[in-house]
Structure 1
């Protein structure tokens, strides 16, 4: 018996525990009932925030894609403009080089012509000077050979001219033989 008294029926209801549990359950149910609209409102707001955040993120992503596309277009346009400017610069460089080359050729021709004119002037001066010297020498030589003075200017000029002609003819003959 002692054992029977110790063993208690498990299915037996303890009314004091049941009452306390029921009161606690009703209090919690009342608090939840009072808090339910706030809780659902907070959950709805949170869901709206999440959905709004997603929508804002999608909108921001679309705007970023649009900005990225605009950036790419501007970058491509800048590349095209750069290529055009580079091509213009190459054309200008070629034009400047051609112009400078033309100016250099014109200047070279001018220098060559000036040098040729100076050479011709120097040659003419040398010929004139040599004619005078040859004339004086030939007159002096003729005076010694002939034994008479060539004081007459006309006679002196004829002798000098004849001597120079003979000299030029002998030079021409020598150049013809060389060729």
Structure 2
């Protein structure tokens, strides 16, 4: 009997237990759950799927755009590096060209300076030669005058005839030049 009494006590306690639902509550709850499940599956699941697909597409599109932007950035960087290398090459070429032009200008200026120096030397030599000729002419005139006076005193007659003076002076100068040449040949 204790066994039966204890079973009855358990059954009575089970009927009054608030944690164990009644049969009508189980049926009503199951039907309500099925209706909610059908509504969620029919209305919410497609919207959730659509939202997830949109997010997936947005994320994938963002990744593609990021990859494209990265590829564009890499292409721009490569282009920049190529242009930088080209600019460096061009600058190097321009420096070399300027160096060559500078050397050419220096050579031209040196050549012009040498030509100017030669011209100045030639002009100075011409002027020296002209002054030498003038000095020789003055010297001849003075020597001629002195020699005519001296010859006139030695000879005792006047040599005032210009033709005669000229002949005497020329003869005297020729003798002096002949002696000078002879002395030069001896010293050489």
Compute the TM-score of the two structures, normalised by the length of structure 1.
0.75
Q: Is 2:162 aligned against 1:147?
A: no
Match of 1:172 among 158, 181, 184: 181
Q: Which moved more, 1:92-101 or 1:35-44?
A: 35-44
CA displacement at 1:88 relative to structure 2: 2.7
Cα deviation 1:79-103 (Å, max 9, x = unaligned): 3322332333233223322322222
Match of 1:84 among 53, 72, 93: 93
2: CA distance, partners of 1:29 / 1:97: 98
1:4 corresponds to which residue?
Answer: none
Q: Which has the higher contact order (CA 8 A, sep 6+)?
A: 1
1:15 corresponds to which residue?
Answer: 20
Taking a change above 3 Å as real, the CA distance of residues 140 and 28 of structure 1, as seen in their structure-2 partners, is: farther
Compute the TM-score of the two structures, normalised by the length of structure 2.
0.72
2: CA distance, partners of 1:48 / 1:68: 29
2: CA distance, partners of 1:92 / 1:31: 90
Q: Is 2:56 aligned against 1:57?
A: no
1:134 corresponds to which residue?
Answer: 143
Q: Which runs of 5+ in 2 are unaligned?
A: 1-12
1: CA distance, partners of 2:39 / 2:178: 144
Q: Is 2:107 aligned against 1:98?
A: yes
Question: What stretches of structure 1 move > 6 A for 4+ residues in a row?
Answer: 27-32
CA displacement at 1:36 relative to structure 2: 4.1
1: CA distance, partners of 2:63 / 2:123: 87
Larger radius of gyration: 2
- Aligned-partner SS, 2:158: coil
Cα deviation 1:2-36 (Å, max 9, x = unaligned): xxxxxx99xx87126xx7xx79xx59978976654
What root-mean-square deviation, in Å, do the aligned CA atoms of Structure 1 and Structure 2 show?
3.3
